[in-house]
Structure 1
């Protein structure tokens, strides 16, 4: 029965990841956010620019923190129209324009007095990593146009960049463990506590253009290119995280289509 419950919780968390991707990024923004009024509600916007589409997430958190890390919750989300930004190679300005409807939604949800204090960040994943390998100038041009669109809004622009496969894997690990309350937990007494050891889980992320695997090994990670250190809620975590570019759902389907075409289907 216990294993059944764990499987249900894990499945629910994986579904939730699809709706609250890159919680890690907003945690980072919350850590660096200047709080003008103690315990006031703060806001932050993260755009997850995946290979198939981009999603905007609006988060909120109180000005006070738990061991130097914010406790965040999702307030709103919006799926940007069109495909992923890597598909705009023929019309980079349209990549920026496509974000404006969702940016308007976020703007309407944030009190006007807090627009300038609201950080906004876009993280692009494997679709843009692939494009940058094929044509760096095209990838840079698309990010420049997206940045222009984000800067045209009265938010605190924190950047638009292609995150590494290692970062993507680590962010996925943070997200699932945050949602499972493995990193920090709220008690019935109203306190935030660090859960008992042994509740940390690994994360396997099958994306559109890459797959990431991340976990905390028993021994020190031998390969420095796969070692990632994190400081969350006063605790240090040493991760093994690795990204496999092109080993993904969309890439597998493309390979299958090619193979079927070769055999005459």
Structure 2
């Protein structure tokens, strides 16, 4: 199975690269172009095309199983480290996403964000599927070890993410195939970002997502609904307290962190609603 052109092979992995995966999660980065190259390599394979034919969509669970684990297994390095090799950069953009998202819509959303905000393709980004070491093969750190380093919080509080230092904050990618804030880790990312000074939070949505959202708002407006009802109908409003986590221990830990903040889940709901509303066309208002 063809790998991305710039990805280090097992023979090319250095001790420095392996050591990097065990500490400082904010340095498990790759560029936007590296991300595009990885996804491009995936989409050209028979495996990807087979899943697409069967399900009509390919998500990040599929990508991790079919590509991330096989390409990184035995190296001790995440795909991000394999792509960036010994070029060590702190994340300047945190990409918040859910694993059930459609890959093509995810790519569209990320690239739209880059164009809209004039981000160079060389910006170092953090994307959990590619930044964490996924194989659980005993060669690199286990996910348990990596999560103990609080990777999401570490990335968000790192100075390179802040606008004053030329950082680009966090972008939350929205697609039609999964609800970003049904995943408690995504809620946690927003919670960490809003308590940090000078970390901008933006949303970027696939055109399908925008069309669905706008369509619902316009439909309800046409039926005489209040704007508040329209936002609820379109999913602009959210109840982050409903988000779940596959691990009960992780869920309890994350909920406690959120409840420690002054406004708790209500405050997070407001933040998410605000950046989703920003994506709605002006004509609706």
- TM-score > 0.5, shorter chain as reference: no
Question: Could you state the TM-score of these two structures normalised by the residue count of structure 2?
Answer: 0.27
Structure with the greater relative contact order (CA < 8 A, sep ≥ 6): 1 or 2? 2
What TM-score, normalized by structure 1, do the two folds share? 0.29
- Greater strand percent: which structure? 1
Q: Which one has a larger percent helix, Structure 1 or Structure 2?
A: 2
